[in-house]
Amino acid sequence: MKQQNFAAISRLLETLPPTTKAALIKRLALSYETPLQERVFVNRNLRMEKIQYVGFDLDWTLASYNRLPLEELTFEEVLERLIKVYGYPALIRSAEFRPDFSHRGLLIDKAQGVVLKMDRHRYVGRAYLGRTELEIPEHTRLYRQERIDLTRERFYHVDTLFELPEVNLFSEIVELKRRHPESLPLSFEEIFRDIRVAIDSVHADGTLKRKIIADPEPFIPKDPTIALTLQKMALGGRKILLITNSEWYYTDALCSYIFDKETLGLSSWRDLFDLVVVSAEKPLFFRKNRPFVELDTSGAENGSVLIPEWKKIYRTGSRDGLMSLLGCLGEKVLYIGDHIYGDIRWTRVSSTWRTALVIRELEDELRNQQILAAEMKHLMQVKLELTDLGQELDNLREAAALLATLGPDEAEATELRRLVLLELQESAGQHEALRSRTAELQARVFSYFNPTWGSLFRQGSSKSLFASQVEDFACLYTSHLRNFLHYGNTHYFRVVTDPLAHEGEM
């Protein structure tokens, strides 16, 4: 970090309580080694000194929710709405809230009622109908006899943390339908549709948001480092933007709670941002040219424009209109969000903006990797042994097949066949034992991450579909926005290595 940047940060720290200030100074110290869980990881080289504008999403990016209370509230609200509004039987109140069942990157097969996980090759690794994992014959029939087209309406991608209660509830109601078909005569697609609409409605009509605003403490932890992160990024004249799908009333309430008493030397959270865009309707914001509707601080509309102005609040709008204001190359804009589809993929596909993805789950993933480091290393060694033994088995089978072509009257050949077959039998036994050992080790590692789905970033030996999307669309990724405090404003995020499979030994 350049000395002048560090001095500016130190001045900003003066308004903080002593204990908080000491912790933050430690985080910013040049000699401080960044913990693995707090690092920013790089998929594509990015020079921060070239970034002139930084845009932020709100939910799960600036507002780092506590997952469990928010998921439970959503689950219960949607459950009640299904009963009271959509006429579902009271039986569904027996649905169990299982927060560990869901994670991002899953897909819902609406036609079959199945929740599944794919690897980066679109190969279905695990699939659950209700609470039951599909048996191999059914799994094969549904997902391995033809290539799956993920663009079809049949599949729903679980991209955000807001959608995890939806996956949980869908599987629970599918399970109840299997047990009580007479009480739930709806098709799987109808159940999915009702849950999807109910989820959207509790967000859109303010049911969830009013409860969060009324008592935000259980749902949103206070974090003074978020305000500091924004102020640090603004050093040197860089502009800071807020572009969120949340409505103005919710954005204002949330940001007031998060920032106003934590904001360093500023009168209001709005002073942190050079431009605020609410109800942006991402990814439509990146795809369609629409006017910006100006709002005052009460939320009242003051007309619309195609090109926004600095220090104002707007609703909807578009990337095209924003770029007319910025007047720069897209590569000078960095957008930071949590939604792989709405925030990151469409930003990359429709523009040259740079992207950073906040993956809350990454912190736990990295911690688990450290805890399991010895076991995972041992598992890799066993897999290599299994590969070598498999090669030996192939060679022995080929030798046995070749010897079988020789005449039975050749004594030496007969004895050699006997020895090869004995060796083959012994090696096959060793191979089977090693396969069982590998499966046990893999199951132990798998269940430590998540007993149903394993690691967010892995499916079997391959990267998961989610991991491949992170790799394809996010220039940077990290577990928390505050992790950027570890890096200078001119830091060069560099790809150190990006090996192909054949380069693994180099």
* pLDDT over 90 percentage in the chain: 68
Res. 506 pLDDT band, cuts 50 70 90: very low
Of 57, 159, 223, 343, the active-site residue reads 57
Contact 86, 198 (CB under 8 A): yes
- 260 classed as catalytic: no
User: In this predicted structure, which of 28-42, 214-228, 341-355 has the lowest mean pLDDT?
Assistant: 28-42
Judged by DSSP in three states, 278 sits in: strand
Position 2 pLDDT exceeds 50: no
Alpha-carbon distances, residue 403 vs 392, 393, 395, 424 (angstroms) = 16, 15, 12, 13
Interatomic CA distance for residues 88 and 183, integer angstroms? 9
Q: Which residues of 395-405 are buried (b: 16+ CB within 10 A; e: fewer)?
A: ebeebeeebee
Q: Which of 35-39, 48-52, 62-66, 143-147 has the lowest mean pLDDT?
A: 143-147
At 476-487, the pLDDT tens digits run 999 999 999 999
Cis peptide before 283 (omega within 30 of 0): yes
Least confident of 51-55, 313-317, 335-339, 402-406: 402-406
Phi, psi of 126 (to 5 degrees): -130, 150
Task: Kindly tell me if the per-residue pLDDT of 269 is higher than 60.
Answer: yes
pLDDT at 32: 59
Q: What is the mean pLDDT of residues 439-443?
A: 89
Segment 54-69 mean pLDDT: 96
Q: How far apart are CA 47 and CA 190, in angstroms?
A: 48
At residue 107, does pLDDT exceed 90?
Answer: yes
258 band by pLDDT with thresholds 50, 70 and 90 = very high
This prediction has a pTM of: 0.88
Lowest average pLDDT, out of 15-29, 142-156, 187-201, 331-345, goes to: 15-29
Q: Does 414 score more than 70 pLDDT?
A: yes
Interval 451-463 mean pLDDT: 92
pLDDT at 60 over 80: yes
> Quick one: three-class SS letters along 220-271?
CCCCHHHHHHHHHHHCCCCEEEEECCCCHHHHHHHHHHHHCCCCCCCCCHHH
Q: 């789950």: which residue's tokens?
A: 361
What's the rounded Cα separation, in Å, for the pair 365 and 275? 34
What are the structure tokens assigned to 422, written together? Answer: 């004995």
3-state DSSP assignment of residue 144? coil
In this predicted structure, the answer to whether residue 475 has a pLDDT above a threshold of 90 is yes
Options 59, 194, 252, 343, the catalytic residue:
59
> Which has the closest alpha carbon to 150: 188, 181, 116, 126?
116
Higher pLDDT, 149 or 278: 278
Q: Give residue-wise pLDDT tens across range 145-177.
A: 888 888 889 999 998 999 999 999 999 999 999
Model pLDDT, residue 97: 96
d(CA 256, CA 240): 17
Would you state the pLDDT for residue 30? 47
| Phi, psi (deg, nearest 5) at residue 134 | -65, 135
**CA–CA separation, 194 and 83 (whole Å):** 11
pLDDT of 419 reads 85
- For the ranges 7-16, 110-119, 321-330, 368-377, the lowest mean pLDDT is seen at 7-16
pLDDT given for residue 182 in this prediction: 96
Active-site residue flag, 59: yes
DSSP assigned state of 55: E
Structure tokens, 384: 């290599």
C-alpha distances out from residue 200 to 75, 87, 162, 163, Å:
12, 17, 10, 10
Residue 411 predicted with pLDDT over 70: no
d(CA 365, CA 458): 11
CA separation for the pair 276, 256 (Å, rounded): 14
Note whether 204 and 279 are within 8 A (CB): no
Mean pLDDT on 128-152 = 90
Average pLDDT in the 192-209 region? 94
Least Cα distance to 93 among 109, 107, 108, 76 occurs for: 76
Whether 31 has a pLDDT exceeding 50, the answer reads: no
Q: Phi and psi dihedrals of 336, rounded to 5?
A: -115, 120
Cα Rg of the chain (Å, integer): 27
CA 16 vs CA 10, 205, 332, 395, 432: distances in Å: 10, 38, 32, 69, 62
Dist CA 391 CA 396 (whole Å): 9
Distance, in Å, from the CA atom of 134 to the CA atom of 114, rounded to the nearest integer, reads: 9
Query: What distances in angstroms separate CA 389 from CA 230, 309, 429, one per listed residue?
Result: 55, 67, 11
Ranges of beta strands (E only) in 106-182 are 107-109, 114-118, 124-129, 132-133, 155-157
pLDDT band at 179 (very low <50, low <70, confident <90, very high): very high
Q: How far apart are CA 381 and CA 505, in angstroms?
A: 14
Q: For residues 503 and 397, give the distance between their C-alpha atoms in angstroms, rounded to a whole number.
A: 30
Residue keyed to tokens 């930084």: 54
Answer yes or no: is pLDDT of 461 > 70. yes
Mean pLDDT of 299-313: 97
Segment among 13-22, 152-161, 326-335, 437-446 with least mean pLDDT: 13-22
- Give the side-chain half-sphere CA count within 13 A for 2: 12
- The DSSP-derived string for 192-227 is HHHHHHHHHHHHHTSHHHHHHHHS-TTTS---HHHH
Question: How does strand 107-109 pair with strand 114-118?
Answer: antiparallel
Confidence of residue 497 (pLDDT cuts 50, 70, 90): confident
Q: Please identify which residue in the block is written with the tokens 């999915």.
A: 192
> Most distant CA pair in the chain: distance in Å?
101
